[in-house]
Structure 1
């Protein structure tokens, strides 16, 4: 016997549409972060040292932004349900474990091959 979580939806309520708007906003923010991550330079110019050589600084900002966006999606039940309905298990190259777990409940998440 399959146990299913039955969700009651009141499509006319303001709260429903506020939650949907927030869910789609979080997904769109993650898509924008993924796009920035694709085009962001790997290193930034950090000035010059005493020999005149360029000091390269790793550009970690886009990676941090993408991590924050994925974390925000995982924390929002509506965003996860939207991605489950779309069957989107990743944004960019970042998997969303909450969506994978919802689509494959018997899988139990990712396993480390080691």
Structure 2
């Protein structure tokens, strides 16, 4: 016998809408971060050496922002619930482990 986590949902409450607004905001932030990762150059000019050649520096900012966006989603129960309902387990190559665990526990197929 499986145990189910049943939640009481009051769709008319302000708290419900505040939580869902925050969940969708975090999901949209991850989608925007993914777009920045796709468009960002791998290296940026970090300065010049004594011969006048450019010293390349890795551009890690967009990747770090994407990691932070995924962590923020995993820390928000409503955002995880939304992604579970959509069966969305990844943003690009970044997995959302909390969603993957929920879907595996429920025995639902994932959409990668």
TM-score range, shorter chain: over 0.9
- 1:110 corresponds in structure 2 to none
Q: Classify the secondary structure of the residue corresponding to 1:11.
A: coil
- 2:43 corresponds in structure 1 to 43
TM-superposed CA distance for 1:105, in Å, is: 1.7
- 1:72 corresponds in structure 2 to 72
**Take 1:89 and 1:95, find their aligned partners in 2: how far apart are those partners?**
6
**Take 1:47 and 1:6, find their aligned partners in 2: how far apart are those partners?**
57
TM-score of the pair, normalised by structure 1: 0.91
What stretches of structure 2 of length at least 5 have no aligned partner?
A: 108-112
Q: Classify the secondary structure of the residue corresponding to 2:46.
A: strand
TM-superposed CA distance for 1:9, in Å, is: 0.1
TM-score of the pair, normalised by structure 2: 0.92
Runs (4+) off by over 4 Å: none
What is the number of equivalent residue pairs in this alignment? Answer: 107
TM-superposed CA distance for 1:29, in Å, is: 0.2
